[in-house]
Amino acid sequence: MGVTVEVPAVLGHEFGGEIVEVGDSVEGFSVGQKVTAPFHHSCGRCRYCLAGRPNICENVVVYGFSGSGGSYGEYLLVKQADANLIMLPDNVSAKAAAALGCRFMTGYHAVVRGGIEPGDWVAIQGAGGVGLSAIQTAAAVGARVIAVDISEDKLAMAKDVGASHGVNSRDGNVAGEIREITGGGSDVGIDALGIQETITNSITSLRKGGRHVQVGLTGSEEKGLAQIPIDFVTAAELEIVGSYGNPQPKYPGLLGLVSQGRLDPEALIEREVGLEDVNEVFENMSNFATKGFNIITRF
């Protein structure tokens, strides 16, 4: 997407916390309440916001980018609170909300966008933060989930959170293995990584009439562009759907599942860190060496 960050900047766009001050024009919130907000800050006024799709707001701002303060600071200003701030249920912690803040809710929304139903075969490419979140969510709604990754450790974690099968893409024919497991192909494929290989693997693993959900954004190699096997899409009448974040109106459903214990974002927290550990975590993420989430709890 060509997004760059102007420095100096306070990074961070996933958070949970407690209200310490409320603006004069804000209604419905008070000091001491536990809250969170989606990473995609919306204006609350444009046609997409008014249509209940604030995740694609015309004036969207992402915390930690574009000069907005981020959650690596102890304090964070949430503007347009009536449109963006979300109350947490009593039994959902701020730490769980931080885990939900981008990757988990993004994986959750990808499952929703996929129209996944109980019994569906769902193949999820990439078992990082977004992929593990989608795996846990798809399993929670009764789908049969196949996790695809290059790391056996991540595939093992994927099985711990709900995948029934794991496919190591280093072994070669991902589409062939998925077709063999499912007896013809997955009903839904979710690409949680955003590289050409995983996009192709997801689409070519689908059965006829299947749906591919693209949730992973591309990196420096693809630069926002990827090839699609368009003849296969046409002949098999496949659907390709984009998925970005999770709109604020969908949060009650997500938080309800967390509150009931059907979803457990804290189970994906690998490590709690301090600000002094951030560079190390970034390096590990760049090398795909993290499993799940690293959460800053020491400032």
Task: Tell whether 290 is covered by a domain.
Answer: yes
pLDDT at 67: 67
Instruction: Encode pLDDT of 16-54 as tens digits.
Output: 999 999 999 999 999 999 999 999 999 999 999 999 999
Q: What global pTM score does this model have?
A: 0.92
Task: Tell whether 42 is covered by a domain.
Answer: yes
Chain centroid to CA 244: 8
Do 122 and 227 sit in the same domain of this protein?
yes
pLDDT at 2: 64
Do 158 and 64 sit in the same domain of this protein?
no
Picking from 214, 242, 270, the residue at the C-terminal end of a domain is 242
Picking from 223, 242, 261, the residue at the C-terminal end of a domain is 242
Task: Tell whether 143 is covered by a domain.
Answer: yes
Do 54 and 81 sit in the same domain of this protein?
yes
Do 168 and 236 sit in the same domain of this protein?
yes
Q: What is the mean pLDDT of the chain?
A: 94
Residue 76 maps to which CATH number? 3.90.180.10
Do 204 and 135 sit in the same domain of this protein?
yes
Instruction: Encode pLDDT of 98-127 as tens digits.
Output: 999 899 999 999 999 999 999 999 999 999
Residue 291 pLDDT > 90 = no
Do 121 and 225 sit in the same domain of this protein?
yes
Task: Tell whether 148 is covered by a domain.
Answer: yes
Do 230 and 252 sit in the same domain of this protein?
no
Do 200 and 277 sit in the same domain of this protein?
no
HEC letters along the chain: CCCCCCCCCCCCCCCEEECCCCCCCCCCCCCCCEEECCCEECCCCCHHHHCCCHHHCCCCEECCCCCCCCCCCCCCCCCCHHHHCEECCCCCCHHHHHHHHHHHHHHHHHHHHCCCCCCCEEEEECCCHHHHHHHHHHHHCCCEEEEEECCHHHHHHHHHCCCCEEEEHHHCCHHHHHHHHHCCCEEEEEECCCCHHHHHHHHHCEEEEEEEEECCCCCCCCCCCCCCCHHHHHHCCCEEEECCCCCHHHHHHHHHHHHCCCCCHHHHEEEEEEHHHHHHHHHHHHCCCCCCEEEEEEC
Task: Tell whether 288 is covered by a domain.
Answer: yes
Q: Are 264 and 258 a contacting pair, CB within 8 Å?
A: yes
Residues in the chain: 299
Query: 232: domain range?
Result: 115-242
Do 209 and 254 sit in the same domain of this protein?
no
Do 279 and 264 sit in the same domain of this protein?
yes
Instruction: Encode pLDDT of 233-283 as tens digits.
Output: 999 999 999 999 999 999 999 999 999 999 999 989 999 999 999 999 999
Do 154 and 169 sit in the same domain of this protein?
yes
Q: If pLDDT is split at 50, 70 and 90, which confidence band does 6 have?
A: confident
Picking from 197, 219, 242, the residue at the C-terminal end of a domain is 242
Residues 6+ apart with CB under 8 A from 220: none
| Tokens read off for 73 | 């600071």
pLDDT at 7: 84
Task: Tell whether 7 is covered by a domain.
Answer: no
| Tokens read off for 13 | 């766009």
Instruction: Encode pLDDT of 175-206 as tens digits.
Output: 999 999 999 999 999 999 999 999 999 999 99
Residue 130 maps to which CATH number? 3.40.50.720
Do 166 and 219 sit in the same domain of this protein?
yes
Task: Tell whether 4 is covered by a domain.
Answer: no
Rounded Cα–Cα distance for residues 125 and 169 (Å): 9
Domain count, the chain: 2
Task: Tell whether 39 is covered by a domain.
Answer: yes
Q: Phi and psi for 40 in degrees, rounded to 5?
A: -90, 100
pLDDT at 1: 65
Instruction: Encode pLDDT of 65-104 as tens digits.
Output: 866 689 999 999 999 999 999 999 999 999 999 999 899 9
Residue 3 pLDDT > 80 = no
Q: How far is CA 285 from CA 13, 171, 227, in A?
A: 16, 23, 26
Instruction: Encode pLDDT of 228-239 as tens digits.
Output: 999 999 999 999
Rounded Cα–Cα distance for residues 256 and 52 (Å): 19
Chain centroid to CA 45: 25
